[in-house]
């Protein structure tokens, strides 16, 4: 076995991942038990809570298998333990692969290429993948309490400011208006980005636009690589084309034929079909 | 209010109890998230120490500069958009266990429909937290089972013949993902896709700098999206 692959699939690494996942599972269990008890305490029926548990379990089974396919796709270059960890904690397949590729370029490789990878590059890639995805976690640690309080008590503060203005108590107005910079900042951007019941906000489109840009850059580079000036390497464009074709079939079945269950598998299955096509073409050529 | 709630607890008692409960979740949530973050960040250093190498700080900074530019705004938007749906407990769990858009949000929506709760109510917060916790535990167990089956297959997965598959995993991802996003927003996609293709054809040096191309391409797509959104054409 390749020495790089032996290092990234070492037994101790599985052990470390198991410890982290045990901790996070314990966290989930604690939250679940506390919420269940709280539900009973405020008068919710246990029957309803049990139904939520069983339905959440069955609802998750199929998508979980698609995540497992993602672990297989990722494990060929990054090894099983890191792929297992990354797709069990915080990440998602599209993020992990994209960030791993960017990080590989950051350490001077041409991309996520097995022939170029080494353990030094691997630990740097793993660090970028880990820290790059912590944005949501950091937001939760520092802003979740303020944000949730803001959402629940938004009307209350506006009313206080209005009352203070009415009695012309300038000090009170200033105090209320200068309340907390972070709260106001969160308030302003949440108005622009949070999803409204009736209309989609720009936040929804912004994320889509960001990913459109991301995909455009990569597809553009595959088009460039396929040209004689770019090395006439047709394989990336071919693989991307097969994956897109496969995804188009899935989209047709999901959107037009209403096979909604396929939605969970479309990405991972399209990738695996395209990767298989790469192997077959390589054998033929 | 949920159809499954009885009225033996007064609204005031419920509110007081729920505030205390939420404060407890914030305390545990913050503590566990910080602990999980420390564990996750330490892993590359532990693996490096075992192998006698350390992460390259210059490589890290180069990679993180691009990743941060793209994913920090995405993380902030996701935080602002999803936390009202997920509630306090659901948010702490979702953001540490991941797969928020593709799994946790649909799972919470499903649980909400089953328990007939309204976002913002104590019942919804409870249902959402239970649903995210159960979903995360189920996923972890399924993946553990899969990994146990995957380990004996390692020699097969590392066979020379499969090398082209794993070396082309990124094009496979962006081909599939690209089609999905381009179909969702063709008006946003046309210009960045055409410009990036032309740039890579006429300036071949740009091909190996995909991580840098992401910035103008993403920025352009965002700008086009914003203009179309403001004009009501999305």
If you write DSSP's letter for every residue of A154-213 in order, what string do you get?
A: HHHHHHHHHHHHHTT-HHHHHHHHTS-HHHHHHHHHHHHHSPPSSS--HHHHHHHHHHHH
B56 contacts chain A (CB < 8 A): yes
**pLDDT band at residue A277 using 50, 70 and 90 as cut-offs:** very high
Contact A148, A34 (CB under 8 A): no
Interatomic CA distance for residues B104 and B102, integer angstroms: 7
Top-confidence residue, A245 or B9: A245
CB contact under 8 A, A276 and B165: yes
CA-wise closest residue to A264 among A58, A3, A25: A58
Q: What's the full length of chain B, in residues?
A: 234
Phi, psi (degrees; rounded to nearest 5) at B7? -105, 20
**Range with lowest mean pLDDT among A114-123, A129-138, A173-182, B220-229:** A173-182
8 Å CB contact between B130 and A32:
yes
Res. A203: pLDDT tops 80: no
Question: What's the rounded Cα separation, in Å, for the pair A209 and A203?
Answer: 10
Cβ distance B234 to A205 less than 8 Å, yes or no, reads: yes
Partners of B24 on chain A (C-beta within 8 Å) are 34
Confidence of residue B160 (pLDDT cuts 50, 70, 90): confident
Asked if the Cβ–Cβ distance from B210 to A97 is below 8 Å, we say no
Question: Region B132-157: what's the mean pLDDT?
Answer: 90
* Euclidean distance between CA atoms A104 and A194, whole angstroms: 34
Asked if the Cβ–Cβ distance from A144 to B26 is below 8 Å, we say yes
Interface test with A, best of B118, B178, B191, B204 (most A CBs within 10 A): B178
Establish how many alpha carbons lie within 13 A of residue A97's alpha carbon, considering only the half-sphere containing its beta carbon: 31
- Whether residue B3 is predicted with pLDDT greater than 50 in this model: the reply is no
pLDDT bin (cut points 50, 70, 90) of residue A165 is: low
3-state secondary structure of A92: coil
Please answer yes or no on whether A235 and B199 come within 8 Å at the CB atom: no
CB < 8 Å to B200, chain A: 220-221, 223-225, 227, 230
pLDDT tens track for A67-96 = 888 888 888 899 999 999 999 888 788 788
Q: Which residues of A touch B9 (CB under 8 A)?
A: 41-43
Confidence of residue A52 (pLDDT cuts 50, 70, 90): very high
Query: How many CB pairs lie under 8 A apart between chains A and B?
Result: 630
Distance CA B190, CA A215 (A): 12
Is pLDDT of A276 > 60? Answer: yes
pLDDT digits (tens, 9 = 90+) for B76-131: 888 988 898 899 999 999 999 988 877 898 899 888 888 888 877 888 899 999 99
Locate B105 and state its tokens: 């949000």
Q: pLDDT by residue (tens digit) across B45-59? A: 999 999 999 999 999
Sorting pLDDT into bands at 50, 70 and 90, what band is A207?
confident
Identity of the residue in B44, B71, B77 whose CB atom sits nearest the CB atom of A193? B77
Q: Are B219 and A212 in contact (CB under 8 A)?
A: no
- B179 token code pair: 């089609």
Whether A212 sits inside 8 A of B129 (CB atoms) is: no
pLDDT of B217-234, one tens digit each? Answer: 989 999 999 999 989 887
Question: Are B142 and A64 within 8 A, CB to CB?
Answer: yes
**How does DSSP classify residue A44?**
B
Asked if residues A67 and B99 have their Cβ atoms less than 8 Å apart, the reply is yes
Residue A127, H or E segment:
helix A119-132
Query: Which of chain B's residues have a Cβ under 8 Å away from the Cβ of A92?
Result: 98-102
Alpha-carbon span A10 to A3, nearest angstrom: 10
For chain B, positions 136-195, list CB contacts with chain A under 8 A: 136-140, 142-144, 146-147, 150-151, 154-155, 157-158, 161-185, 188-189, 192-193, 195
DSSP character string of chain B: --TTB-SSS-HHHHHHHHHHHHHHHHHHHHHHHHHHHHHHHHHHHHHHHHHT----HHHHHHHHHHHHHHHHHHHHHHHHHHHHHHHHHHHHHHHHH--IIIIIHHHHHHHHHHHT--TTSHHHHHHHHHHHHHHHHHHHHHHHHHHHHHGGGHHHHT-GGGHHHHHTHHHHHHHHHHHHHHHH-HHHHHHHHHHHHHHHHH-GGGGGGHHHHHHHHHHHHHHHHHHHHHTT--
How large is the average pLDDT for residues B50-72?
A: 91
Is B135 close to A237, i.e. CB distance below 8 A?
A: no
Q: Kindly report, residue by residue over B141-150, the tens digit of the pLDDT.
A: 999 999 998 8
Average pLDDT of the residues of chain B:
88
Report CA A23 to chain centroid distance, whole Å.
Answer: 20
pLDDT value of position B209: 79
**What confidence tier does A130 reach under pLDDT thresholds 50, 70, 90?**
very high
Q: A155 falls in which pLDDT band (50, 70, 90)?
A: very low
């Amino acid at each position: 076995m390749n020495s790089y692959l032996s290092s990234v699939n070492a037994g101790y690494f599985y052990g470390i991942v198991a410890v982290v996942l045990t901790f996070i599972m314990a966290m989930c269990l604690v939250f679940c038990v506390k919420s269940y008890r709280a539900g009973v305490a405020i008068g919710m029926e246990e029957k309803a809570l049990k139904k939520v548990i069983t339905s959440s379990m069955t609802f998750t089974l199929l998508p979980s298998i698609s995540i497992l396919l993602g672990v297989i796709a990722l494990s060929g270059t990054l090894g099983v333990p890191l792929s297992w960890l990354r797709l069990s904690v915080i990440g998602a397949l599209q993020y992990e692969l994209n960030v791993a590729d960017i990080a590989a370029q950051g350490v001077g490789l041409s991309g996520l290429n097995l022939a170029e990878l080494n353990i030094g590059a691997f630990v740097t890639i793993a660090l970028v993948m880990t820290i790059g995805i912590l944005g949501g976690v950091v937001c939760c640690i520092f802003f979740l309490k303020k944000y949730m309080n803001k959402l629940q008590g938004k009307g209350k503060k506006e009313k206080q400011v209005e009352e203070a203005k009415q009695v012309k108590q300038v000090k009170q107005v200033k105090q209320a208006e200068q309340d907390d910079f972070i709260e106001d900042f969160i308030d302003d951007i949440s108005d622009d980005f949070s999803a409204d019941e009736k209309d989609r906000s720009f936040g929804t489109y912004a994320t889509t636009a960001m990913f459109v840009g991301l995909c455009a850059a990569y597809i553009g580079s595959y088009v460039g690589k396929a040209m004689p000036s770019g090395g006439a390497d047709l394989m990336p464009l071919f693989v991307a084309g097969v994956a897109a074709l496969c995804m188009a079939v899935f989209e047709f079945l999901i959107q037009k034929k209403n096979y909604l269950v396929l939605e969970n598998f479309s990405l991972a299955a399209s990738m695996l079909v395209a990767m298989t096509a790469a192997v077959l073409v390589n054998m033929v050529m | 209010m949920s159809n499954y709630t009885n009225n033996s607890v007064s609204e005031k008692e419920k509110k007081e109890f729920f505030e205390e409960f939420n404060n407890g979740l914030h305390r545990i949530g913050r503590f566990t998230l910080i602990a999980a973050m420390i564990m996750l960040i330490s892993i590359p250093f532990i693996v490096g120490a075992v192998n006698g190498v350390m992460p390259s700080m210059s490589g890290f900074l180069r990679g993180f500069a691009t990743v941060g530019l793209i994913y920090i705004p995405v993380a902030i938007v996701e935080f602002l958009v999803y936390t009202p749906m997920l509630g306090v407990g659901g948010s702490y769990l979702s953001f540490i266990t991941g797969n928020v858009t593709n799994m946790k949000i649909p799972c919470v929506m499903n649980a909400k429909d089953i328990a007939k709760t309204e976002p913002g109510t104590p019942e919804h917060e409870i249902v959402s937290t239970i649903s995210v916790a159960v979903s995360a535990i189920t996923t972890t167990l399924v993946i553990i089972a899969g990994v146990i089956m995957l380990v004996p297959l390692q020699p097969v997965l590392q066979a020379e013949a499969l090398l082209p598959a794993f070396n082309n995993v990124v094009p496979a991802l962006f081909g599939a993902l690209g089609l999905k996003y381009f179909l969702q927003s063709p008006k946003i996609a046309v210009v960045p896709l055409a410009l990036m293709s032309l740039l890579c054809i006429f300036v071949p040096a740009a091909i190996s700098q995909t991580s840098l191309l992401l910035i103008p391409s993403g920025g352009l797509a965002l700008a086009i999206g914003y203009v179309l959104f403001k004009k009501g054409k999305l």
